Amino acid sequence: MAPLVVVDGLCINAHGIDGREFPIVKDVSFTIEEGQVLALAGESGSGKTTIALAMLGHVRPGCRIVGGRIRVGDADVLSLTPAALRDLRGATVSYVAQSATASFNPALKLNEQVVEIALTHHLMRHAEAHARAVELYRGLALPDPEGIGECFPHQVSGGQLQRLMAAMALCAKPKLLILDEPTTALDVTTQIEVLKAFKNVIEIERTAAIYVTHDLAVVAQIADRIIVLNGGEIQEAGATNAIIERPSHAYTKTLMAAVRPPPKIGNGSDSKRIASSMPPIIEIKNVTAGYGGVDGSGNPRIPVLWNIDLAIRRSSVVGVIGESGCGKSTLARVIAGLLPWAAGTVLLDGAALPPRVKDRSREQLRKVQIVFQMADTALNPRHKIASILGRPLEFFHGKAGAGLKPRIAELLDMVRLPRSFADRYPTELSGGQKQRINLARALAAEPDLVLCDEVTSALDAVVGAAIIDLLKELRRELGVAYMFISHDLSTVASFVDEIAVLYAGRLVEAGDTRSVLAPPRHPYSDLLVSSVPELRIGWLEDTAAMRATKAALGGVVTSTVAGCAFADRCPFRIEGLCEREAPPARRTDAGLVIYCHRTLEELGSPRSDQR
């Protein structure tokens, strides 16, 4: 039988700002059989999304298909009339975008949007389409398949919305499904469920799929074949197990190395011994913080953090992890003075730190610097790099005029950027370069502590890994301490000395990296550790099978005032106790602290150990 999709010599050009054209996809050819999942893997800029969109006969503005052929089923995609192209899209080839939140109309019920394609193409009757939608919801393991379609998009979680988007794409029974980084924006714990659902529904529907991602560990779970792209060219193509187990191309190896080192390899870092003897630079004691002002009893109206205790030693790295919404970014904002805490104390170098920026001395301000996740919005697009880096020098160190230039050059050297960047504007820089400038700006103050808020999360794996390497080097050279916030356990585990795990605004476990990653573990840490995809085929099935034996892990985060925040998702919940009383702190000799009603012996028992 002829393959379902044939792409032959596809070339796509883009217009530069100066009007010249340059190639972004160079002579790409591949085929997809019916029911097969092909992964396009590569960093951003590798052309993977551009190729995927070309299957729909679509190119982004400023781009042009200059050569090649695309056949999907019997349609020659590139020679179709606009009307025929409209019939193709949605009905024969459909698309699932990265951000489901941005792809749903907030004013329409989910069902209306899911069945829309089938109805506009007159492929199904109304009742038939609705029945089909419910069938898909069931296949995607969505809760309450009959009722969920009556919800509005804001009433369901991000992971559910992503699955609903797959239902929308599949409703009209397309021959080819395009998934563009559909799990990248999700938390690891949610990602597993979504991946499993996608894999399941693709098997049931026998749809061919193109899975676009930068994450080879995810690819290994879902794809039959992999194409590794770099700079618009195919580097390596082959069956998934061949590529994962025996990568032959150097670029594939780089990509694999950058992707998620298993969190078990916490490299009990070299400066560990020195760091543990250092006095703390910052001590957070019993801090409660939130938004909306404080109520009569002194608690914030919308509390985000409860009774947090955390200390960061000089020159050490503390990783703060947890799912989105757990309050980890709020913690950084609290320390930086952007959000005054409602109760508790924070000590900087042993002296009390005022909650508000405006009450802090310049010296206190200098010692703590913050670096944000979104490199794009953290740099003012109207200022040159020189003035962005120059301001903290002027502000904290009174440097001005001619004195600035050598120091700016030094800072650029420090973050491994060419000195000529001083005359550029942020828009002329790539994401990784911008993040380096962000870091340089923080370092310009000569701080003792840098708060890194998801600094690598918005970057490609390879670029993010380079930033982590840079952070390590800077720490060695300058002795600066970091609080490294991330939702990605494997990133954190690779270089931090200590880990603090947050759940729904509470500290659930804290200690040095090795102790946190090894049993005994808090049930939530356990869930996090086991959710990080491994670069191994069959990992998804193993994990899912193991999950199935435990109840209630699919729940959503709820913030309760009393009891353990994790109680309703915890597989080891003790009824009548966990949801009522705050868990006690269980401490080990190694300095690990776990907040749980179960004893350390119980937590360390084989029942909770994954491996």
Partner 1 sequence: MSIEVAGERALARRRLRLSGTAWVGASIVAFWIAMAIGGAWLAPYDQGTLVSDNIFDPIGSRFLLGTDYLGRDMLSRLLVGARTTLGLAGIATALAIFIGAPLGMLAAVIGGWVDMALSRAVDALLSIPTLLFGLVIVAAIGSYIPVLLVAAALAYAPGHFRLARALSMDMNVMDFVEVARARGESPWWIARQEILPNIVMPLLTDFGLRFVFVVLFLSGLSFLGLGVQPPDADWGSMVRENLAGLSDGYAAALIPATAIASLTIGINLVIDSLSARAGRDISRDGA
- 484 with 401: CB under 8 angstroms? no
| Radius of gyration for the alpha carbons in the chain, expressed in angstroms and rounded | 26
Closer by beta carbon to partner 1, 30 or else 396: 396
Q: Please, which residue, 434 or 522, has the CB nearer to partner 1? A: 434
Picking from 570, 604, 568, the residue whose alpha carbon sits closest to that of residue 586 is 604
Q: In a 10 Å sphere around its CB, with 0-12 CB exposed, 13-18 middle and 19+ buried, how is residue 584 labelled? A: exposed
What values do phi and psi take at 544, rounded to 5? -65, -40
Give min distance, CB of 409 to partner 1, in A: 18
Which stretch, 27-35, 137-145, 175-183, 359-367, contacts partner 1 (CB under 8 A)?
359-367
Q: Decide whether 278 or 294 has the Cβ nearer to partner 1.
A: 294
* Of the candidate residues 391, 397, 405, 407, the single one contacting partner 1 (CB under 8 A): 391
Residue 552 interacts with partner 1 (CB under 8 A): yes or no: no
Q: In one letter, which amino acid is 228?
A: V
What the block records as the tokens of 320 is 């703060």
Interface residue with partner 1 among 106, 292, 381, 398 (CB under 8 A) is 381
Stretch that binds partner 1, among 44-52, 252-260, 380-388, 577-585 (CB under 8 A): 380-388
Among 108, 131, 239, 338, binds partner 1 (CB under 8 A): 338
Question: What would the x/- binding string for partner 1 be over residues 9 to 38, using CB under 8 A?
Answer: -------xxxx-------------------
> According to CB under 8 A, which residues from 444 to 463 bind partner 1?
445
- Residue placing its CB nearer to partner 1 in the complex, 96 or 451: 451
Q: Could you say which DSSP state residue 165 is in? A: H
Q: Does 362 bind partner 1 (CB under 8 A)?
A: yes
Structure tokens, 50: 């551009």
Site for partner 1 contains 107 (CB under 8 A): no
Report how far residue 550's alpha carbon sits from residue 205's, in angstroms, rounded to the nearest whole number.
28
Strands 317-321 vs 498-503: parallel, antiparallel or unpaired: parallel
Q: Which of 149, 263, 337, 520 binds partner 1 (CB under 8 A)?
A: 337
Closest distance of CB 390 from partner 1, Å: 11
Q: Which stretch binds partner 1 (CB under 8 A): 226-234, 268-276, 284-292, 389-397?
A: 389-397
Residue whose CB is less far from partner 1, 227 or 429: 429
Query: Taking the CA of residue 529 as centre, how many other CA atoms within 13 Å lie in the half-sphere pointing to its CB?
Result: 26
Least Å from the CB of residue 562 to partner 1: 33
Smallest distance from partner 1 to CB 426, Å: 9
Comparing CB distances to partner 1, the nearer of 120 and 427 is 427
- With binding defined as CB under 8 A, does residue 398 bind partner 1? no
- Cβ atoms of 178 and 55 within 8 Å: the answer is yes
**Rounded to the nearest whole angstrom, what is the least distance from the CB of residue 448 to partner 1 in the complex?**
15
Closest CA to 223 of 204, 256, 253, 198: 198
441 binds partner 1 (CB under 8 A): yes
**Interface with partner 1 by CB under 8 A: which range of 137-145, 299-307, 318-326, 375-383?**
375-383
Percent helix, strand, coil in the chain, to 5, is: 40, 25, 40
**Residue 269 exposure: Cα atoms within 13 Å on the Cβ side:** 25
In the complex, the smallest distance separating the C-beta of residue 317 from partner 1, rounded to whole angstroms, is 20
Q: Is 178 in the site for partner 1 (CB under 8 A)?
A: no
User: Binding residues for partner 1, how many (CB under 8 A)?
Assistant: 31
Nearer to partner 1, 28 or 455 (CB): 455
CA-nearest of 453, 440, 448, 451 to 335 is 451
For residues 332 and 484, give the distance between their C-alpha atoms in angstroms, rounded to a whole number: 9
Nearer to partner 1, 413 or 423 (CB): 423
Rounded-to-10 torsion of CA 101, 65, 123, 196: -50
Q: How many CB atoms lie within 10 A of CB 106?
A: 8
467 binds partner 1 (CB under 8 A): no
Which of 380, 413, 585, 591 binds partner 1 (CB under 8 A)? It is: 380
Please pick, from the candidates 71, 383, 397, 550, the single residue that binds partner 1 as defined by CB under 8 A.
Answer: 383
- Rounded to whole angstroms, the Cα distance separating 154 from 398 reads 49
End-to-end Cα spacing for the chain: 43
CA distance 90 to 449: 51
| Span from 104-112, 163-171, 198-206, 392-400 in contact with partner 1 (CB under 8 A) | 392-400
Q: Which is nearer to partner 1, 306 or 372 (CB)?
A: 372
Binding residue (CB under 8 A) for partner 1 from 360, 367, 436, 487 = 360
| Cα distance between residue 121 and residue 354, in whole Å | 62
Q: Give the binding range for partner 1 (CB under 8 A) out of 184-192, 229-237, 355-363, 464-472.
A: 355-363
> Closest approach of Cβ 395 to partner 1, in Å?
6
- Interaction pattern, residues 416-435, with partner 1; x per rule: CB under 8 A: -----------xx-------
Please identify which residue in 59, 233, 271, 395 interacts with partner 1, judged by CB under 8 A: 395
Q: DSSP E strands: which ranges in 233-342? A: 233-239, 280-294, 300-313, 317-321
Among 392, 431, 511, 523, indicate the residue that binds partner 1 (CB under 8 A): 392
Q: Establish if 106 lies at the interface with partner 1 (CB under 8 A).
A: no
For residue 228, the number of C-alpha atoms closer than 13 Å in the C-beta half-sphere is 22
User: Of 32, 31, 176, 161, whose CA–CA distance to 90 is shortest?
Assistant: 176
User: Is the Cβ of residue 84 or residue 458 nearer to partner 1 in the bound state?
Assistant: 458
By C-beta, is 426 or 464 nearer to partner 1?
426
Write the DSSP symbol of residue 146: T
* 445: alpha, beta or left? (left if phi > 0; alpha if psi -120 to 50): alpha
How far is it, in rounded angstroms, from Cα 91 to Cα 169? 9
- Interaction between residue 85 and partner 1 (CB under 8 A): no
Q: DSSP E strands: which ranges in 419-480?
A: 449-453
CA distances from 387 to 403, 428, 437, 441, 442 (A): 13, 15, 11, 10, 14
Q: Which residue has the tokens 């503390």?
A: 318
Please identify, using beta-carbon distances, which residue of 336 and 574 lies nearer to partner 1. 336
Residue with smaller CB distance to partner 1, 427 or 599: 427
C-beta of 20: minimal distance to partner 1 in Å? Answer: 8
Contacts to partner 1 by CB under 8 A: 16-19, 336-338, 357-358, 360, 362, 365, 369-370, 372, 374, 377-383, 391-392, 395-396, 427-428, 441, 445
